[in-house]
Amino acid sequence: MGNVVKIAVRNLLRYTRRSLLTVSLIAFGVVFVLVFVAMTGSFKEAIVASITDSYLGHVQVHRRGYVASIESLPLNLSLEPTQLAKIQEALGSEPGVAGASERIKFNAMFSTFVETTGLRITAVYPEREFAVCPKLPARIVQGDRTPAGLARGKILVPELLARGMGIKVGDTVVVVATNKDGSVNGKTLLVSGILESATGPGGRDGYIHFEDGREILRMPGRETMEVAIRLRDFGQVERLGAALRERLEGRGGGREALEVHTWSQLSPFSSVARLIDMMALFMKLMLIAIVLISILNVMIMAVYERVREIGTIAAIGTLPSRILSLFLVEGVLLGVAGAAAGVLVGAAIILVLDVWKVSVRFGGSLQLFALSPRVDLFEVVLACVMVIAVSALASVQPAVRASRMEPIDALRHV
């Protein structure tokens, strides 16, 4: 095999410019795929982390039917104390759960005494909410970033609303809401902070204390609309989501049943994430096409240019299988060289982009997402294996053609 490789290498070096061009083309494809995967992966990671860590959590549990009508934030689909106890029991027995936060969500009238507008309110226990959404404090652009900022009687106002209504930290506002029985209640609150908008639904909610929410809605018992859950390992979202679903949703259904949703089922960004994955797949298909066409072209040329040589080695007794291997190895070596060069250059570019810290905005958000492009070893290995396998595949036809040449015809070739 060593001799086959030696001859193949020398044959590639014989047409240095052509071989270099082919290797460069393959390397360019590999670089493109790796950098694309690294950048989009980082973008996805940043957005998903922003969504899950700043307001959504990794998994949420609701009463059945709540998510389907979430736009209206129905008050009659709250989790009852018995259901909440069941949820807490399930979460307590699952070591992958890092924390949970109960939330009351409702639509309210928000007034500065001068102007009034509508606002979605999320009422939370601040310590629990900050544990489930650790980026929430970072969204507080003005005011108190500690849980004390969400103590009873305080409110975090979304930035766009604050800007539009001229609200400042320390102002007094009124929140008025209708409870599920139709009675209206209001509460005066102190603006303790201005909250930066986050991407997606729920990213522009105001926050108050859980007990203030209960008070405004006049909830007699310990009802809650949703339980947001943070996992220790984000990579376990689907597995733990399925485990909780199995445990909480049960098989009976009905109004008493619960629903478990992972972040991807709740956020429209999951569609964007899927689109990004599709684009990455498309890039890989492009890479396959580049490798296939360039290697096939080079190997067809190689066979055509070396017909007499093939005739000679066949005449002196080289077996067809050995001739086949000579050309297969030549094609594979082009792929190996292209993949190696692509990985090296791609890694260097990704490193530079990581140091450079490229920032992007997403979906009209004011938030800047700093990307940290990284590529998994799996993606690198996948790209290399793909390139080498396609190189071998592309070399098969020319190699078979070479191995099947009749030496007498090949020797006559001019």
Binding residues for other proteins, rule: CB under 8 A, are 3-4, 7, 10-11, 13-14, 308-309, 311-320, 322, 407-408, 411
* Least separation in angstroms between CB 327 and other proteins: 13
Helix (H, G, I), strand (E, B) or coil at 257: coil
* Least separation in angstroms between CB 326 and other proteins: 8
Decide whether 242 or 315 has the Cβ nearer to other proteins: 315
Three-state DSSP string of 378-403: HHHHHHHHHHHHHHHHHHHHHHHHHH
In 86-139, DSSP assigns E strands to 97-111, 116-124
Decide whether 285 or 315 has the Cβ nearer to other proteins: 315
Decide whether 3 or 93 has the Cβ nearer to other proteins: 3
Apex CA 37: angle with CA 23 and CA 329, to 5°? 30
Identify residue 339 by its one-letter amino acid code: A
Spatial CB neighbours of 280, under 8 Å, sequence gap ≥ 6: 33, 36, 37, 40
Tell me how far apart the alpha carbons of residues 106 and 205 are, in angstroms, rounded to a whole number.
10
Tell me how far apart the alpha carbons of residues 66 and 257 are, in angstroms, rounded to a whole number.
11
Residue 28: exposure state from Cβ atoms within 10 A (0-12, 13-18, ≥19): middle
- For 360, the enclosing helix (H) or strand (E) is strand 359-361
Decide whether 3 or 82 has the Cβ nearer to other proteins: 3
* Least separation in angstroms between CB 393 and other proteins: 24
Spatial CB neighbours of 302, under 8 Å, sequence gap ≥ 6: 11, 15, 327, 330, 398
* Least separation in angstroms between CB 330 and other proteins: 11
* Least separation in angstroms between CB 29 and other proteins: 28
Three-state DSSP string of 37-57: HHHHHHHHHHHHHHHHHHHHC
Decide whether 4 or 131 has the Cβ nearer to other proteins: 4
In 234-379, DSSP assigns E strands to 258-262, 359-361, 368-370
Decide whether 209 or 306 has the Cβ nearer to other proteins: 306
* Least separation in angstroms between CB 304 and other proteins: 16
Tell me how far apart the alpha carbons of residues 309 and 330 are, in angstroms, rounded to a whole number.
15
* Least separation in angstroms between CB 360 and other proteins: 50
Spatial CB neighbours of 385, under 8 Å, sequence gap ≥ 6: none
Decide whether 34 or 405 has the Cβ nearer to other proteins: 405
* Least separation in angstroms between CB 317 and other proteins: 2
* Pairing outcome for strands 172-178 and 184-195: antiparallel
Which of 244, 321, 357, 331 has its CA nearest to residue 5? Answer: 331
Strand partners, 158: 195
Tell me how far apart the alpha carbons of residues 173 and 165 are, in angstroms, rounded to a whole number.
11
Decide whether 331 or 373 has the Cβ nearer to other proteins: 331
Decide whether 105 or 306 has the Cβ nearer to other proteins: 306
Decide whether 314 or 371 has the Cβ nearer to other proteins: 314
Which of 295, 316, 301 has its CA nearest to residue 402? Answer: 301
Stated length of the chain: 414
* Least separation in angstroms between CB 4 and other proteins: 8
* Least separation in angstroms between CB 295 and other proteins: 19
* Least separation in angstroms between CB 291 and other proteins: 24
Answer whether 70's CB lies under 8 Å from 122's CB.
no
